[in-house]
Each structure stands twice: as structure tokens, then as C-alpha cells.
Amino acid sequence: MAAYKFDVLGLGNAIVDVIAPVDEDFLIAARLRKGGMQLVDEAQAEALYDAMGATTIVSGGSAANTIAGVASFGGRGAFVGKVRADEAGHAFAHDIKAAGVHFATPATPAGPATARCLILVTPDGQRTMNTFLGACQNLTCEDIDGADVAASKILYLEGYLWDPPEAKKAFVEAARIAHDAGREVALTLSDLFCVDRHQQEFLSLIRDGVVDILFANESELHALYQTADFDVALAALRQENILAAVTRSEKGAIIVKGAETHVVPAAPIEKLVDTTGAGDLFAAGFLTGYTRNEPLGRCARLGALAASEIIQHFGARPEIRLARLAEQSDYLHAL
Amino acid sequence: MAAYKFDVLGLGNAIVDVIAPVDEDFLIAARLRKGGMQLVDEAQAEALYDAMGATTIVSGGSAANTIAGVASFGGRGAFVGKVRADEAGHAFAHDIKAAGVHFATPATPAGPATARCLILVTPDGQRTMNTFLGACQNLTCEDIDGADVAASKILYLEGYLWDPPEAKKAFVEAARIAHDAGREVALTLSDLFCVDRHQQEFLSLIRDGVVDILFANESELHALYQTADFDVALAALRQENILAAVTRSEKGAIIVKGAETHVVPAAPIEKLVDTTGAGDLFAAGFLTGYTRNEPLGRCARLGALAASEIIQHFGARPEIRLARLAEQSDYLHAL
């Protein structure tokens, strides 16, 4: 049996989240597409920041959030992502290490600032994200530690990596190393607009065997298969030779693997505050169960449980130990 | 009648709060005095930060929190405090302006970094603060806009200003300008240990007529009069020729002015999360009422109401409009 160093190694954009509540009118006035992630340049980011109210700053980044979640469940996680040696980069590195995650990607000494995601949260808990990629554009193949990738059960990649051109190459290289070592590769489609930008390439990744496990929400799935019909999209997904987890917000999640299907309800919550990180934490819970060889239905419930924690507060990193939450969860034990 | 530009102008240390939950053992291991504010140098701050878990970063600073609170009640507030032109300083300036507060103190281009307060919150909601004063040490008389001070109904000073030597001079100069213009000067004693450091000077400020309105909590009052007996301390306070508001956590607050006394209960809360800013926001509510010539009992209830909002979440700036909270408050209307 192989000696694994990490359960999940994540590769993604290293981002600091800058969060403020806004009303719906703010989104309309700023012409922002509610619920999605838009890329912005530094000047746009500054202008939007100036218009935002007082903010709360916490570490974010989709795959980074997922790996922090894996660690919170007690798993061994590693993250690869690029920050600059600035205050935000220092905070990002501190927070992911404080979460118990191995993080050794060197910060760039100069160039664009550490990436920021300006997150506007409306009263319905929906988040609209505006990302300045900054230093993430400096992630290259050089940053991939092949031995670490080969020693991880799962390589987890975020679709957002398809935005910075050099990061895309690192993504492909890491996947090659993982497969050469007999590991599995997971991909999250990240975002509806991200799928819009890279639809054909994402389909190729799936069909060329680069991806073994896929995470998507409903709108991402619709964008991937260019259909407004969920059942049509799900049928198309079944044709791919992969394991796929589709999250459906308050409707729970569906796991498909060929003809096999597992449907789980959403975990109950008291109050929806901020949906940021729901998908990231679903992936954390699912992969935690998966790397422990749990049944797929239980993997999905672990995902839904982690998502339920993250959407009840601002920020996309768990505020409590997910391992403890899992121990005490009626939802999980209802299985 | 004078045309006022501001209801309250606050002078204080401009600080960014870096918050993490910890257990009691963490405080013991780090030999920290629970519940107080310790000054730390940059190396101590770095070491403590390294030991802390993932953090939430929000703007803070005692007087700055108070003025943000005044603005949240709909009052006109101004703040004077020193940051450096770094990322944290940029965030501080953004947040206080976003709160609707006038803030025009120029950032220092070099020198020590913007001040940080590392705040450790234990499960009982108590906060233990560790402040690196940084750029606050560069606040001088030069930063006082005499016209603004003279055009403010109340000048609000924090006792913490007695820590950076140059800021102390700015404090005294601002108080002189305010009194020359016929305005009132308010002081918060800030912190038990701060009173320990500067007890004689604080007493002199009160007795020399520099201070007209005093804010203190129980432990600060005990330190000021060097007694463990609350009634003895209160009797001593009555002898001073000032208006004083003494906050007593869940026991509410007492307002004394010579023989006059007003006792108000604490405003009800659902869940205590983080006591950071309770005193700051009490002062915000009290001064809001006071500048509107409300009866002292109602001023105290406005203070207690604002404090009740701030202690139910992390961070010391209001998350909701206090003006709206006041409109809807049964506690306030029970008066």
C-alpha cells in the first residue's frame, strides 16, 4: 500500500477576500452580474473598493478554501498557489498554514499585488464576486512540487486556474504527474462565467481523461452542456467516464457515476448569511469521505454538512472544527 | 446659535484589528493578561500572530469605533488618527470613510507600519488585546485641524493616546482648542492597564478641567481611584466636577453628575460573541443622545443599545445601522 503524504493537494488561485454587505441597488448601479465571478483589473478593483462599505478581510480562494476544509475535517491537505510578498500575501500564507495546511509556494518579491476578491453580499445571502488576479498570474510549472503531487491521494484543481495563462500549464503538468503516479484528479468547474469562457477546454479535459472527479453546480452544468434543461445536462454528464458531484443549493446534491446515482438533501441551517464557499466546502467534505473510502452517499452528506457551516457566516473558511461538527451531526447520522 | 460642522470629533490611535478565536490555554501559554490591552513591539506582534489561528481583519481603534458608531446613529463624526501609507492604512481609511466619517489625517509615507491590534477571543466572548502602536506614534499637534475641533460639539479623546508620547501633546492641544471655542471634552479611560500606566496624569486631566465628560468601566474606575470597592470609587468620582458614565457589562451603566444619578440596565442580547468595542459603542450611543440634548437616562440607554449590537459579532464596528436599531428597540422605548 502506498504511503501517502497528503490526502488532497489543491492547486488554485491564492486570493484574499474583501467582503461587504450591499443592497440589490448597488449591484444594479455597478452593473454587476449577481451570483457570479467577474475578473476585474486593478483600476476596476480600486474603483469598486472605493464604492463599497466597510469590509471584513479573510483569506479565500476556491481550492484553498477546499483544502482548509479538508484539514478542518482532520485530513492532510496541501495547497499550491501564488501570492506576492505583501501584507495580503503574508495574511494568506498565515491563514492557510494556521488551518493546518502545508503551503510552500514561494511568494513573488515584485510584480502584481496578491489577488483580491471583492465580494458583495446581498440581503438574500447571495454573493457577487469581483476578482483581481494579481500575483496569481505568476503561478507556473516551476511551482509544482512533483513529489508532493505524486504523494497525494487526490489532486484537486479549480477551473478558475484556466484564467491566468501560465497557471493553466501548471494545471496540466500537475495532472500529468498525478496520473503517472496512479493518483486521481478532481476538478471543480468553479463558476458559470468561468465555464462560459472555457467551455470547450473543460469538456476536453473531461473527455481526454485528465479529470476523474468533477464538481459542478447546476448553472455550471448547464453552461458546460449548453442547455437550460437539468435532466438533459445530467444525462450528458452520465455519458462521461467520470465520477461527478452536482450541487443544487437548498435542493441538496446528486452524485452520478455512470448509471449509479446518489441523491442527498441539503443539511439544515438556521440562517443563510453568505453563500460564499458553499461549493468549495462541499468539495472538502466529499473528498474527505472519498479519501477515507466512505460510500458515495456519505461522501455527499459530508460535503453538504460542510457547506451548511460555511453559508451561515461571512467568509469561506470554516469557523468551527468540521471534524467535531461531523461527530455531532444528526444529518450525517440519519444516513 | 453656533453652526456645528461635526457632532463629535474623535482623536485616537488608528488601528486595524486582527481577530482570532482561541481557547483559555492559549492565553496561559502566551502569558497574556486576559481582558486587557497590552502594548507589544513589532517582533512580539509577529510572534503572536504566527501562533494565532486564521484571522478576520477589520478596522478598529477605540475612538475610531466610537465615531463610526456616532455616524451609524446618523450623527456627523470626524476622526483624527495616524496610519502609514500601507495596505492596512489604506483599509483603515477606506472603512472609516465608508462609515460616513470625515477622515483627513495624512498617512505617513514611511516609518513604522499601521498599528495592529491582535485580538484573541476566548469562548466566553472576552477579548484580550495586544497592540503594536506603529504609525500611531507619529501623530502630532500638526495633525490637529483647529477649525474642525472648534466646530465640533464634542471632542472625544481616548486614554490610549497617553501611550505614544507625541500623541499626548496633540491630545492636550486639541482639548485647549475645544475649550477656547466653548466646546466640551470627553475622555474614555480606555483600559485597566492603561489607567495603571497613567493614573496620576488622568486624575490631573479630570481635576484641572481638561475633561468635562468621562467614560470608564468598573475596573478602570477602581484603578483610577486605587480601590477595590466600587462604592468608594463612585463616591470619589462624584467629587469630581464632571459628568461621568460608568459601564458595568451585564449590570448595565450608571451616570453620575454630582449628586445626580441615573442607573440603566444592560440591553438584552441573544448571544455574547466578542466583547471588543462594547465600551467604544456605549460612548457612541451616549454621545449621540448627549449632542441631541436628550435626557441622561436616555443617553445611557442609547449607549447600552449600541454596545449590545457590537458584542454579538466579531469586530468593533456596527454591522447594522444603529439609527434603525434605535427606532425598532423595545429596550429604548421602555424608558
- Domain range summary for chain A, segments of one domain joined by +: 6-14+61-112+134-333
Share the mean pLDDT of chain B.
Answer: 96
pLDDT number for residue B223: 96
Residue B33 confidence (pLDDT) above 70: yes
CA-nearest residue to B101 within chain A is A54
pLDDT tens digits for range B54-69:
999 999 999 999 999 9
State ipTM.
0.91
Distance to chain B for A281, nearest Cα, Å? 16
CA-nearest residue to A317 within chain B is B54
pLDDT number for residue B333: 84
Q: Are B54 and A87 inside 8 Å of each other by CB?
A: no
**CATH code for the part of the protein at A6-14+61-112+134-333:** 3.40.1190.20
Of B21, B54, B99, the CB nearest to A99: B54
- Are A121 and A127 spatial neighbours (Cβ–Cβ below 8 Å)? yes
Residue B2 pLDDT grade (very low, low, confident, very high; cuts 50, 70, 90): low
pLDDT tens digits for range B163-219:
988 999 999 999 999 999 999 999 999 999 999 999 999 999 999 999 999 999 999
Cell of A35: 451570483
Q: Are A53 and B315 inside 8 Å of each other by CB?
A: no
User: Cα torsion for B165, B171, B173, B176, to the nearest 10°?
Assistant: -150
CA-nearest residue to A68 within chain B is B54
Q: How many CB pairs under 8 A join A and B?
A: 61
pLDDT number for residue A165: 87
pLDDT number for residue A3: 76
CA-nearest residue to B96 within chain A is A54
Share of chain B above pLDDT 70, in %: 99
Q: Are A59 and B58 inside 8 Å of each other by CB?
A: no
Q: Are B319 and A21 inside 8 Å of each other by CB?
A: yes
d(CA B327, CA B250): 22
- B contacts of A59 (beta carbons < 8 Å): 54
Cell of A46: 480600486
CA-nearest residue to A65 within chain B is B54
Residue B335 pLDDT grade (very low, low, confident, very high; cuts 50, 70, 90): low
**CATH topology assigned to domain B6-12+62-87+137-333:** UDP-N-acetylmuramoyl-L-alanine:D-glutamate ligase (3.40.1190)
Question: How large is the C-alpha radius of gyration of chain A?
Answer: 18
Task: For an interface test with B, give the residue of A86, A87, A119, A313 to mutate (most B CBs within 10 A).
Answer: A87
Give a three-class secondary structure readout of chain B.
Answer: CCCCCEEEEEECCCEEEEEEECCHHHHHHCCCCCCCEEECCHHHHHHHHHHCCCCEEEECCHHHHHHHHHHHCCCCEEEECCCECCHHHHHHHHHHHHCCCEECCCCECCCCCCEEEEEEECCCCCEEEEEECHHHHHCCHHHCCHHHHHCEEEEEEEHHHHCCHHHHHHHHHHHHHHHHCCCEEEEECCCHHHHHHHHHHHHHHHHCCCCCEEEEEHHHHHHHCCCCCHHHHHHHHHHCCCEEEEECHHHCEEEEECCEEEEECCCCCCCCCCCCCHHHHHHHHHHHHHHCCCCHHHHHHHHHHHHHHHCCCCCCCCCCCHHHHHHHCHHHHCC
Residue by residue, pLDDT tens for chain A (335 residues) are 457 999 999 999 999 999 999 999 999 999 999 999 999 999 999 999 999 999 999 999 999 999 999 999 999 999 999 999 999 999 999 999 999 999 999 999 999 999 999 999 999 999 999 999 999 999 999 999 999 999 999 999 999 999 988 999 999 999 999 999 999 999 999 999 999 999 999 999 999 999 999 999 999 999 999 999 999 999 999 999 899 999 999 999 999 998 999 999 999 999 999 999 999 999 999 999 999 999 999 999 999 999 999 999 989 999 999 999 999 999 998 75
pLDDT number for residue A335: 58
pLDDT number for residue A333: 84
Per the document, the length of chain A is 335
pLDDT tens digits for range B226-265:
999 999 999 999 999 999 999 999 999 999 998 999 999 9
Buried b (16+ CB within 10 A) or exposed e, A279-307: bbbbbbbbbbbbbeebebbbbbbbbbbbb
Q: Are A319 and B21 inside 8 Å of each other by CB?
A: yes
- B contacts of A68 (beta carbons < 8 Å): 54
pLDDT number for residue B1: 44
Specify the pTM. 0.94
Of A87, A96, A317, the CB nearest to B87: A87
